[in-house]
Chain A
């Protein structure tokens, strides 16, 4: 921990420059709820800590022609208090708000949850289901990436050296759309997902016209399950369609055995959560 530096730049350009100057030893600090624990454990020892919470674009939520842009460092607590965002994307907001306690919510961000790259990160399956686009800025400029392309494996991302996640963009979508996120944990609070499932869908005249499904904690990365989405889209979300989508989720699982759950249990639960999350999303979308 010797010679660590701390900077809190006001702009993304300065933050990217600070990361570049650090030659791979720079670490972005958002809420610090992963980073400070890892520093304390000696797992990471940054040369320079780049606190991004003074950068307006990374700490604000904007409405963008029907969609939303959420700064990567906005805390869960602030996201949970944004009434319009919560109404438009209840699944994304509930997933972010499941992270930790109220104290953790005061700091934890969706950007940190994504970049920490835990396969069990709660916000990620919901953001994948939502079709969130991640804006990334680095030494070579800006690029937009679908959120499901960021995870590369446990603790690893596809971000290039020095790249910073700036924000998430949630697209505009038609009336009759909604989303939901469910996770299974052995307790009711403060635990890591055994399985997490996000579903986003659009329903018109009783038929599901579009769907996306994200699954967490069942593979080395959070998964976009396209086959499950295909099973839902075009159906009336009847039992047969839901079972086909659940089967697609089970087939997508490549889980591990650990103290939280066995391979068989995780696989089974993935299907169960898909059905329940799809049901909740459908209710929210206005299917009665």
Chain B
């Protein structure tokens, strides 16, 4: 099968890779580019563990072909911290124990950031609906929702 040559931008860096047409973005991120933060929970769009953004739009990387990355800007969990400086969402997840085993966490963080980038003042209901595509086996969700609400409040405070 002829390999496709793809040029894209991942977490602000220009990246080129070769892929087979049926390969998913998630496979290439994890197996070829070493970006293993995005997880495969289901491979069928149900769990959100593979969440990334493409041109700022939240998507499941398991339901995107790697070839589709051509010319677009991708953000993965690896781009969230600035060096050693965790993103406020990451800090709050740790502080409030909004994770246990952690496999869902990159997906929740990417999805939560996509929400707050768009809506800095969400209601709890909005947060719950926004995160309905992310499944967590461990936390029971409440701590996650609370963490997102607190970060939103903190960020509004700092922005003031």
Known interface pairs A33-B45, A53-B68, A101-B133. Does A39 touch B22 (Cβ–Cβ under 8 Å)?
Answer: yes
Add 6 more A-B contacts to A6-B21, A36-B65, A106-B54 (CB < 8 A). Answer: A4-B22, A100-B45, A100-B133, A102-B115, A103-B59, A103-B60
Contact B21 A33 (CB under 8 A): no
- Cβ of B114 within 8 Å of any chain A Cβ, yes or no, is yes
- What is the 8 Å Cβ interface bit string for chain A, positions 178-209, against chain B (1 contact, 0 not)? 00000000001110000000000000000000
- What is the 8 Å Cβ interface bit string for chain B, positions 47-77, against chain A (1 contact, 0 not)? 0100100100111101111011010000000
Sample (10) of A-B pairs whose CB atoms are under 8 Å apart: A1-B22, A6-B67, A8-B68, A33-B45, A36-B24, A102-B130, A103-B48, A104-B45, A104-B63, A106-B54
- Cβ of B86 within 8 Å of any chain A Cβ, yes or no, is no
- Interface residues of A, Cβ cutoff 8 Å to B: 1-6, 8, 29, 31-33, 36-37, 39-40, 49, 51, 53, 75, 77, 100-104, 106-107, 188-190
Known interface pairs A3-B1, A75-B57. Does A104 touch B133 (Cβ–Cβ under 8 Å)?
Answer: yes
The 3 residue pairs across chains A and B that have the minimum distance between CB atoms: A101-B133, A6-B21, A189-B132
Contact B21 A104 (CB under 8 A): no
Contact B65 A6 (CB under 8 A): yes
- Cβ of B111 within 8 Å of any chain A Cβ, yes or no, is yes
Chain B residues near A31 (CB-CB < 8 A): 63
Contact A8 B70 (CB under 8 A): yes
Q: For B43, give the chain A residue with the smallest CB separation.
A: A40
Known interface pairs A8-B67, A32-B63, A103-B51. Does A77 touch B21 (Cβ–Cβ under 8 Å)?
Answer: no
Min distance, Cβ B72 to any Cβ of chain A, angstroms: 10
- Cβ of B85 within 8 Å of any chain A Cβ, yes or no, is no
Contact B21 A5 (CB under 8 A): yes
Chain A residues near B48 (CB-CB < 8 A): 101, 103
Contact B133 A4 (CB under 8 A): no
Main secondary structure of the interface of B (DSSP, over half): mixed
Chain A residues near B43 (CB-CB < 8 A): 40
Residue of B4, B46, B130, B133 with highest tally of chain A CB at under 10 A: B133
CA distance A100 to B133 in the complex (A): 8
Residue of A1, A2, A33, A102 with highest tally of chain B CB at under 10 A: A102
Contact B133 A103 (CB under 8 A): yes
Chain B residues near A104 (CB-CB < 8 A): 45, 60, 63, 133
Known interface pairs A5-B21, A6-B4, A102-B58. Does A32 touch B46 (Cβ–Cβ under 8 Å)?
Answer: no
CA distance A251 to B46 in the complex (A): 35
Min distance, Cβ B57 to any Cβ of chain A, angstroms: 4
Contact A103 B21 (CB under 8 A): no
Chain A residues near B63 (CB-CB < 8 A): 31-33, 36-37, 104, 107
Chain B residues near A49 (CB-CB < 8 A): 21-22, 65
Q: For A32, give the chain B residue with the smallest CB separation.
A: B63
Contact B70 A103 (CB under 8 A): no
CA distance A166 to B44 in the complex (A): 26
Min distance, Cβ A238 to any Cβ of chain B, angstroms: 34
Q: For A29, give the chain B residue with the smallest CB separation.
A: B65
Contact B132 A40 (CB under 8 A): no
